[in-house]
Every structure is written in structure tokens, then in C-alpha cells.
């Protein structure tokens, strides 16, 4: 595995996820500092996601392993965030994720991952290209998590947009996967 600066940043992002999970799971009303710690880790991870991508493109550090690790880091962080925030949502005084949003977000990732596995088994090589729709979905998922960690009152419109984008991008990736299968 080529150890580029971009790949090191991505690996570090992955290594922060257990700390993010722990800060959320141990959060209570009495330990609000843990919510702030989770927010800091999430912001760091989100910003470093943009930074590692920029470094990889700007300095010619795009690698096959980076193309796998970067979206993996995003998905691990977001899936962990949605599940953990839903689980401890009753401890959050202002707002809680609705179950249907969790189902939409997780269903998308299960569909995409399942499609990747099927293509890999049948074709050997998976040609995954990030789309604007996929990036918009990730952006809105990150906004949902950020607003939840900030405990700002979230307009249900943000949830609807996130769920809609999650479903539409799942269908788009499914369509692209079917094209690869022939």
C-alpha cells in the first residue's frame, strides 16, 4: 500500500471512529462534554475528508487503495454516527433521528455494498466512480449528524432531503452496477 500523505490522513480518520463511537455511547446529560468531544471528532473527520481528497488530487497522490479507503472512512463514520445517535437519542434533550431516516441511510449503504460485492464476485474488478449525487448524499448525511451533535432544532425538510438523496443515489448506484454486469 503506497503511504501517501492523503492515505495517512484517511487511515487516521478511520482510527478516530472508535473514539467517536465511545464519546456518543457514553454521553449522558451529566457528561455533555462527551457530545462536544464527538462533535470535535466529527468536524475533524469531515474537514480532513476534504483535505485528503484535495491533497491526493493536487499532488498526484491518487491511489487504488485511497479510492477504497476514503469512501470506506466516510461510510464507517456516518453509519456509526447514525446508529449511535439513534441509540442514545433519548439522552439528547432537543432532537432525535426518526427511525425511517436511519432505515433510508442504512438501506442505501447495504444496497451499494451488496452491489459492489456481487460485481466483484462476478466480474473481479469493480469500477466505482463517485457521482455528484453520491457526494450530495454524503454532504446531507453529514449535515444531519452535525446538527444532531450541535442539538440544533432540525427542520424535517433536512431529513426528507437526506432520505430522498439516499434512496435516489442507491438507485443510481444500482443502475450503474447493473451496467457493469452487462
Question: Domain holding 165: CATH number?
Answer: 1.20.120
Confidence of residue 14 (pLDDT cuts 50, 70, 90): very high
| Total number of domains constituting the chain | 1
Residue with cell 433521528: 97
Judge whether 10 and 73 are in contact, CB under 8 Å: yes
Q: 128: alpha, beta or left, given left = phi > 0 and alpha = psi -120 to 50?
A: beta
The pLDDT of residue 124 is 81
- Per residue in 41-92, pLDDT (tens digit) is 999 999 998 899 889 889 888 888 888 888 899 999 999 999 999 988 767 7
d(CA 82, CA 166): 13
Q: What average pLDDT does the segment 26-50 reach?
A: 93
User: What are the residues whose beta carbons fall under 8 Å from the beta carbon of 46, sequence distance 6 or more?
Assistant: 142, 146
Name which of 60, 158, 166, 44 is nearest 105 in CA terms. 166
User: What are the residues whose beta carbons fall under 8 Å from the beta carbon of 173, sequence distance 6 or more?
Assistant: 111, 112, 115, 131, 134
Percent composition of the chain: helix, strand, coil (DSSP 3-state, to 5): 80, 0, 20
Judge whether 101 and 154 are in contact, CB under 8 Å: no
- Per residue in 116-171, pLDDT (tens digit) is 888 888 888 777 788 899 999 999 999 999 998 988 877 789 999 999 999 999 99
Domain extent, residue 150, equals 5-181
Given a cut of 70, whether residue 1 has pLDDT beyond it is no
Provide the grid cell at 172. Answer: 443510481
Amino acid at each position: 500500500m503506497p503511504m501517501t500523505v492523503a492515505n495517512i490522513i484517511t487511515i487516521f480518520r478511520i482510527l478516530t471512529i472508535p473514539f467517536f463511537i465511545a464519546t456518543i455511547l457514553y454521553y449522558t446529560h451529566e457528561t455533555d462534554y462527551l457530545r462536544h468531544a464527538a462533535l470535535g471528532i466529527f468536524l475533524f473527520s469531515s474537514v480532513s475528508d476534504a483535505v485528503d481528497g484535495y491533497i491526493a488530487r493536487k499532488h498526484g497522490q491518487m491511489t487504488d487503495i485511497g479510492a477504497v479507503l476514503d469512501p470506506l472512512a466516510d461510510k464507517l463514520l456516518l453509519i456509526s454516527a447514525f446508529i449511535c445517535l439513534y441509540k442514545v437519542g433519548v439522552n439528547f434533550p432537543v432532537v432525535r433521528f426518526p427511525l425511517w431516516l436511519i432505515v433510508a441511510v442504512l438501506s442505501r449503504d447495504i444496497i451499494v455494498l451488496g452491489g459492489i460485492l456481487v460485481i466483484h464476485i462476478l466480474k473481479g474488478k469493480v469500477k466505482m466512480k463517485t457521482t455528484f449525487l453520491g457526494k450530495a448524499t454524503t454532504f446531507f448525511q453529514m449535515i444531519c449528524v452535525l446538527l444532531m451533535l450541535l442539538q440544533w432544532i432540525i427542520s424535517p425538510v433536512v431529513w426528507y432531503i437526506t432520505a430522498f438523496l439516499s434512496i435516489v443515489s442507491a438507485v443510481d448506484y444500482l443502475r450503474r452496477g447493473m451496467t457493469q454486469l452487462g
